[in-house]
Chains A and B, each alone.
Chain A
Amino acid sequence: MTYKAAKNGIDNIIEIDPANVARYAALTGATLTPLESDTTPVVETVPMTDYVDMADAYATAEAALLQAQLGIE
């Protein structure tokens, strides 16, 4: 999971399991704040764009993703 680690006015984004946060914070003296999960889909308000091309490309990408998940070469 992604956390922001802040220390002495400097921020870093780090990858860490929640179970390790307390010890890591004790070792470094940093303050850790969880960030949004990087696996949560983000829905954005988008500017005007070519939605026809976008939808077509989206479907192609979805198919490729499913194929990869099924292990199809």
Chain B
Amino acid sequence: MGGGGSAGIKNSDKPSITFDGKWSGWYAEIYDDTPYWECMITSSGGLSVIGTIIADAWGIGGGGGGGYYYSSGTNYYYGAGSGFTAMAANLTLTGSMAVTIGAGGTPYTGSVSQSMDVFPGTTGGATTFSSLAANGGNGSGQSAGTGGSNGATYYQVSGGSNGTPGAGKIMSKFWDAAHNTDIGAGGVCNSSYYIGGGGGGFTSLKIPGTQNGEGYGGGGCKMYEGYLGTGTSGCLVIRIKM
């Protein structure tokens, strides 16, 4: 990327990189008074890079799938963890490069028997790009799942958000404190119905009518039969200095 500083920025200066999946395209963003071109990617695919470009990347894996356990006539639903976050700096982008966006984990889909009492959700998929790897959140079962933000049990208030309780990393792109303004809330628990909440991910993207954690990478939480507790898929953010 041949940047010319912040003065006189033009659309024609955008990085010579295209993507064949779902993405935002390039937009301007500022970190620590330094201008960047940035994009957000929300499905897997291939980047096409003209020349060689140095970039940073930040991502979150898919949220875990909500699980539950059965005891004495009652189902107890536990929230799964959000995806974990990861960052890689000074990556060399060139040619065709794969981007992998981790999907959300799923609730238990196997058969049910009288002797079985734990129905675990699955781990979310990993979001990967070059050397970056952001693992998926862990599914829940007889306990809440761990992740970037942990899921919650039914007797808690809500799933974790912004990394607490959880892996301790704030849910903002590039872990930048100045951008820590759009955070996915943890799913709200309902002790009356033994429902926990999934861990909150990145952004306040909501899934109406569920106890899932908000945002990309949000953890799932099953609530009643017929309601899925699928975790939300992750995302990747790439930035390039202007």
Q: Does B54 contact A (CB under 8 A)?
A: no
* Contacts known (A2-B103, A13-B103); A50 close to B233, Cβ less than 8 A: no
Q: Does B101 contact A (CB under 8 A)?
A: yes
Residues of A within 8 A of B190 (CB): 57
Residues of B89-107 contacting chain A, CB below 8 A: 96-98, 100-107
Q: Are A24 and B44 in contact (CB under 8 A)?
A: yes
Q: Kindly report which residue of chain A lies nearest to residue B106, judged by CB atoms.
A: A38
Q: Are A42 and B101 in contact (CB under 8 A)?
A: no
For the complex, give the distance between the alpha carbons of A61 and B104 in Å.
Answer: 22
Q: Distance (Å) between the CB of B136 and the closest chain A CB?
A: 8
Q: Per-position contact with A for B35-69: 1 when CB-CB < 8 Å, else 0? A: 00000001111100000000000000010000000
* Contacts known (A15-B43, A20-B44, A50-B74); A38 close to B104, Cβ less than 8 A: yes
- The stretch of B7-15, B165-173, B218-226 in contact with A is B218-226
Q: Does B198 contact A (CB under 8 A)?
A: no
For the complex, give the distance between the alpha carbons of A53 and B71 in Å.
Answer: 15
Q: Does B208 contact A (CB under 8 A)?
A: yes
Q: Does A9 contact B (CB under 8 A)?
A: no
Q: Kindly report which residue of chain B lies nearest to residue A45, judged by CB atoms.
A: B112
For the complex, give the distance between the alpha carbons of A12 and B102 in Å.
Answer: 7
Give the total number of A-B pairs whose CB atoms are below 8 A apart: 124
Q: Are B227 and A47 in contact (CB under 8 A)?
A: no
Q: Does B114 contact A (CB under 8 A)?
A: yes
* Contacts known (A27-B97, A27-B98, A58-B224); A15 close to B62, Cβ less than 8 A: yes
Q: Does B73 contact A (CB under 8 A)?
A: yes
Residues of A within 8 A of B43 (CB): 15-17, 20
For the complex, give the distance between the alpha carbons of A68 and B227 in Å.
Answer: 16
Of the candidates B100, B223, B225, which one forms a contact with A44 in the assembled complex, judged by CB atoms under 8 Å apart?
A: B225
Q: Does B204 contact A (CB under 8 A)?
A: no
Q: Distance (Å) between the CB of A25 and the closest chain B CB?
A: 9
For the complex, give the distance between the alpha carbons of A58 and B77 in Å.
Answer: 14
Q: Are B100 and A12 in contact (CB under 8 A)?
A: yes
Q: Per-position contact with B for A31-49: 1 when CB-CB < 8 Å, else 0? A: 0000110100111111111
Q: Are B106 and A48 in contact (CB under 8 A)?
A: no
Residues of B within 8 A of A68 (CB): 206, 208-209
Q: Which of A12, A38, A42, A69 has the most CB of B within 10 A?
A: A12
6 chain-A/chain-B pairs, Cβ below 8 angstroms: A16-B21, A23-B20, A42-B109, A42-B228, A49-B74, A54-B224
Identify the B interface with A (CB < 8 A): 20-22, 42-46, 62, 70, 73-75, 96-98, 100-107, 109, 111-112, 114, 117, 122, 124-126, 128, 136, 190, 192-193, 206, 208-209, 223-228, 230, 233-234
- Beyond contacts A13-B136, A16-B44, A53-B193: 17 other A-B pairs, Cβ-Cβ < 8 A, are A12-B126, A13-B62, A14-B44, A15-B103, A16-B21, A20-B20, A27-B96, A41-B226, A42-B228, A45-B111, A49-B73, A54-B193, A54-B225, A57-B193, A58-B226, A61-B224, A69-B208
